[in-house]
């Protein structure tokens, strides 16, 4: 059997996601209106040194919501890759992106269903910025018809003590 390649430094970068996190999320449904808020938690673990799997639980609009994110790194593409599913949609989000030179900001690109018009796909940009080992900020933005990006989700993740 051939020798499997070991994890690379980009896989090591993913280890900072591992742990138990409290989450506080704002969802901007309409411009000029206050965001919807939800609180929850995420438990993230490494799989084989190559992947992070995060399981999220929250309450949104009075209903329980669960989610699952995978993040990894593809050395052939030289890109971070991942997926997202949640209990409020049948869509499988697929991500591809990069980390900035400072090693603090992960930017992921995807396409997915437009929340404003059924059946239409839009470009999305998700970011994860590590402010410290115990605090990160997540954002999700949608590309509008005019080419401008609109923030639709902002989340604060704080490591549980």
What's 88's domain CATH number? 2.40.128.20
For 91-107, b where at least 16 C-beta lie within 10 A, e where not — what string? eebebebebeeeeeebb
For 109-157, the pLDDT digits (tens) are 999 998 877 778 999 999 999 999 999 999 999 999 999 999 999 999 9
Count of domains for the chain: 1
Closest CA to 128 of 17, 45, 36, 4: 17
CB 35 within 8 A of CB 57: no
Measured at the CA of 94, the angle between CA 81 and CA 39, to 5 degrees, comes to 95
In a domain, 87, yes or no: yes
In a domain, 13, yes or no: yes
0.75 exceeded by pTM: yes
In a domain, 3, yes or no: no
In a domain, 2, yes or no: no
In a domain, 120, yes or no: yes
Domain that holds residue 87: 9-159
In a domain, 4, yes or no: no
In a domain, 98, yes or no: yes
């Amino acid at each position: 059997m051939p020798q499997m390649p070991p994890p690379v430094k980009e896989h090591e970068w993913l280890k900072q996601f591992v742990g138990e996190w409290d989450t506080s999320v704002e969802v901007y449904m309409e411009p000029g209106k206050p965001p919807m808020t939800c609180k929850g938690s995420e438990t993230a673990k490494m799989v084989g040194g190559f992947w992070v799997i995060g399981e999220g639980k929250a309450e949104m609009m009075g209903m329980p919501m669960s989610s699952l994110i995978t993040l990894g790194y593809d050395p052939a593409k030289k890109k971070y890759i991942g997926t997202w599913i949640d209990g409020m949609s049948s869509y499988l989000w697929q991500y591809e992106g990069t980390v900035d030179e400072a090693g603090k900001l992960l930017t992921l690109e995807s396409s997915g269903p437009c929340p404003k018009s059924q059946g239409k796909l839009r470009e999305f940009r998700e970011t994860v910025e590590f402010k410290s080992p115990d605090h990160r900020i997540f954002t999700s933005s949608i590309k509008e018809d005019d080419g401008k990006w609109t923030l639709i989700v902002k989340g604060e993740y704080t490591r549980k003590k």
